[in-house]
């Protein structure tokens, strides 16, 4: 009952934030738990640091923790101040940064085993996606993956940016049980 009430509160909070800034929040409701599970495949208790970009109300964050990653190993970077405050309250041992993914390289973080992105890349300007990719790969261990979901079939990073950053993408999963259905990509340095 309590879990249902919390989910309802988080969904309404998401709708309110979407109404305030539709292009930044970019989805009317949070992602499904089915998608969240696919976003964290391969994570376990051995990872030292996971950075999550655009956690919103924490659907992927819960799945990262359920995969065995410790809360203290989590860095959550969220642009929306209200979501950031809620996240810090919900995950007191995580490092919550109310800032932009574009600035990731300036937060003095160690190297991450993985970056999980809930960012709406398709509604972010190319120049900012360029900055996000540069920043994300500068704070990742060699060979680490940036995990990104998208509502389109294609990888949401444009080919020119893939080339510029020396990246390759692998489509890992399709999740029908999400609104809208979503694909999960793993993006690596070549
Ligand atoms: C589509 S929602 C995804 C939320 C959550 N991960 C989920 O799947 O339900 C996008 C989230 O990214 C955040 N966001 C958008 N642009 C951002 C940026 N440049 N840096 C950090 N967070 C950003 C929004 O505030 C929002 O919480």
Q: What is the CATH number of the domain that holds 129?
A: 3.40.50.150
Residue 14 has pLDDT above 80, yes or no: no
The contacts of residue 87 (CB under 8 Å, 6+ apart) are 55, 58, 61, 76, 78, 94, 96
In tens, the pLDDT along 162-177 reads 999 999 999 999 999 9
Strands (E), the chain: 50-53, 74-78, 95-98, 112-117, 140-150, 167-175, 182-189
Question: Does residue 2 form part of some domain?
Answer: no
Contact 32, 177 (CB under 8 A): yes
Residue 157's domain comprises: 29-189
Can you tell me which residue has the tokens 């979503």? Answer: 182
In this prediction, residue 156 carries a pLDDT of: 97
pLDDT band at 135, cuts 50/70/90?
A: very high
Q: What is the pLDDT of residues 84-98, one digit of tens each?
A: 999 999 999 999 999
Distance CA 8, CA 14 (A): 10
| Closest C-alpha among 127, 129, 125 to residue 53 | 129
Read off the pLDDT band of 178 (50, 70, 90). very high
Residue 6 lies in a domain: no
- Please report the pLDDT score of residue 103 as a whole number: 96
Which atom of ligand 1 is found nearest the CA of 132?
Answer: 19
Q: Is the residue at 161 inside a domain? A: yes
pLDDT at 12 over 90: no
Q: Which of 25, 26, 54 to mutate to test the pocket of ligand 1 (most atoms within 8 A of CB)?
A: 54
Q: How does the average pLDDT of the chain come out, rounded?
A: 95
Any atom of ligand 1 within 6 Å of the Cβ of 58: no
Cβ of 83 closer than 6 Å to ligand 1, yes or no, is yes
Task: Tell me if 18 is assigned to some domain.
Answer: no
Domain annotation covers residue 15: no
pLDDT score of 63 more than 80: yes
DSSP 144: E
Assess if residue 147 is contained within a domain: yes
Q: Flag whether pLDDT at 1 surpasses 70.
A: no
Domain assignment present for residue 7? The answer is no
For residue 33, is it within any domain? yes
Total count of domains within the chain: 1
Q: Given this model, what pLDDT does residue 141 score?
A: 98
């Amino acid at each position: 009952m309590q879990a249902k009430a919390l989910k309802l509160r988080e969904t309404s909070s998401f709708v309110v934030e979407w109404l305030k800034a539709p292009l930044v929040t970019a989805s009317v409701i949070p992602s499904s738990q089915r998608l969240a599970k696919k976003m964290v495949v391969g994570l376990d208790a051995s990872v030292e640091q996971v950075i999550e970009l655009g956690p919103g109300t924490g659907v992927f964050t819960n799945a990262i923790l359920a995969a065995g990653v410790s809360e203290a190993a989590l860095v959550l970077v969220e642009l929306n101040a209200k979501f950031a405050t809620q996240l810090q309250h919900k995950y007191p041992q995580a490092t919550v940064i109310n800032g932009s993914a574009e600035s990731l390289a300036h937060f003095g973080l160690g190297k991450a085993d993985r970056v999980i992105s809930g960012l709406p890349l398709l509604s972010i300007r190319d120049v900012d996606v360029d900055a996000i990719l540069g920043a994300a790969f500068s704070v990742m261990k060699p060979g680490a993956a940036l995990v990104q979901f998208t509502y389109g079939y294609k990888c949401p990073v444009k080919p020119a940016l893939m080339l510029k950053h020396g990246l390759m993408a692998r489509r890992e999963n399709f999740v029908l049980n999400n609104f809208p259905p979503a694909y999960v990509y793993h993006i690596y340095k070549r």
